[in-house]
Amino acid sequence: MDVPRRQFPGGTPMTPCPRPRSAARLLLVSALSASGLLALGGCSGLASDVARYASAPRSATGSAGVSATSPQSAPALTDAQAQSALVTEADLGDPWAPTQGVATWRDGFLKASAPAGMPDCQRLIDALYGDELLGAPARAVVGLDDGYAGAQLRYQVSAQRATAVDAALTWLGSLPQKCRQFTATTALGVVQDVQVADSALPAFGDARQGLRITVTRANRGETATLTLDIAAVRVGEDAFTLTNGGLGEVFTEVTQAVAELGAERLAEVRKQARAQV
């Protein structure tokens, strides 16, 4: 699961699409069609699709068509099935590309200690650093880099059972209150301000929790802020996590759209698995 830590980002994307120049520019992502997943790439006008996604109503049962009921016992997905449930660069298109290595900000910002007496905040920092938001290594993982904004996206299909996932979602949901604001000190003694806020996700899947986390530090008179959007979602018996982060602009619309895309994909993979039994 671990990959070598190399400088991020690196290289220049080939034949990039023109990017909006406004300060709040939307990142291009795949649109979701009503009949299934719509995989788009290149310069397909996806910014307007994101805008439509952000304003479109969502049904109470979620886009994946899974009713909000208690999960039933079912065999775990195989490694091949979990791999096929991943969201990849083929779904998102430009400017996303396969990762060139774990972002250097992971060690720089997330290898840190919360104050004594704040175990939930330390657990959060450790979970972010170790990429284990649901408390265990994932079954399948993909990393994608945005060569324009310098963001990195990590999408993981969980190996946890549904009961453990629900417990982790409850814990994540408690963090905006327990860890709303705290400090995290790196091994080099740099004191960082950490803020944790709830980030509402549209109603898809069966259970979900979103958070927006900022880690801010001052060094030699300059301030840098790492922003992390996270989403953890259970779809029936299965679950996934998504981390979208970087030192520049991080768009919540992208996190929401990719999470919904992931819920659709995971539900379809489980449906196919049942049909093959």
Residues 6+ apart with CB under 8 A from 254: 27, 29, 50, 153, 229, 244
CA separation, residue 122 to residues 30, 186, 200, 228 (Å): 35, 12, 23, 16
- Letter for the amino acid at 156? Q
Strand partners, 233: 208, 240
**Does residue 139 lie in a domain region?**
yes
What is the CATH number for 64? 3.40.1000
For residue 6, being part of any structural domain is answered with no
Residue 58 CB: number of other CB atoms within 10 A?
A: 14
The confidence score (pLDDT) of residue 193 equals 98
Backbone angles phi, psi at 90, to 5 degrees: -65, -30
User: Would 163 be classed as within a structural domain?
Assistant: yes
Give me the torsion for CA of 251, 27, 155, 151, rounded to 10°.
Answer: -70
Give burial (CB, 10 Å; 0-12/13-18/19+) of 61: middle
In a domain, 142, yes or no: yes
Q: How far apart are CA 180 and CA 172, in angstroms?
A: 12
Is-contact 245 260, C-beta < 8 A? Answer: no
Q: What is the reported pTM?
A: 0.77
Look-up of token digits 């290289």? 11
Q: What is the structure's pLDDT at 22?
A: 31
- Is residue 121 in some structural domain? yes
Structurally, how many domains does the chain consist of? 1
CA distance between the termini of the chain: 29
Average pLDDT score over residue span 138-167: 93
Give the Cα separation of 178 and 124 in Å (integer): 11
Domain-embedded: residue 9: no
Q: Does 51 map to a domain?
A: yes
> Is there a domain that residue 83 lies in?
yes
Per-residue pLDDT at 236 exceeds 80: yes
Buried b (16+ CB within 10 A) or exposed e, 19-44: eeeeeeebbbbbbbeeeebeebbeeb
Q: What number of CA atoms fall less than 13 Å from residue 244's CA on the CB side?
A: 24
Weakest mean pLDDT among 43-57, 80-94, 207-221, 238-252: 43-57
Domain limits at 159? Answer: 32-275
Give per-residue pLDDT as tens, 154-178: 999 999 999 999 999 999 999 999 9
Q: Are 142 and 88 in contact (CB under 8 A)?
A: yes
Supply the pLDDT for residue 56: 46
Tens digit of each residue's pLDDT (9 = 90 or more) over 7-56: 333 333 333 343 433 322 343 333 333 323 343 333 333 343 444 444 44
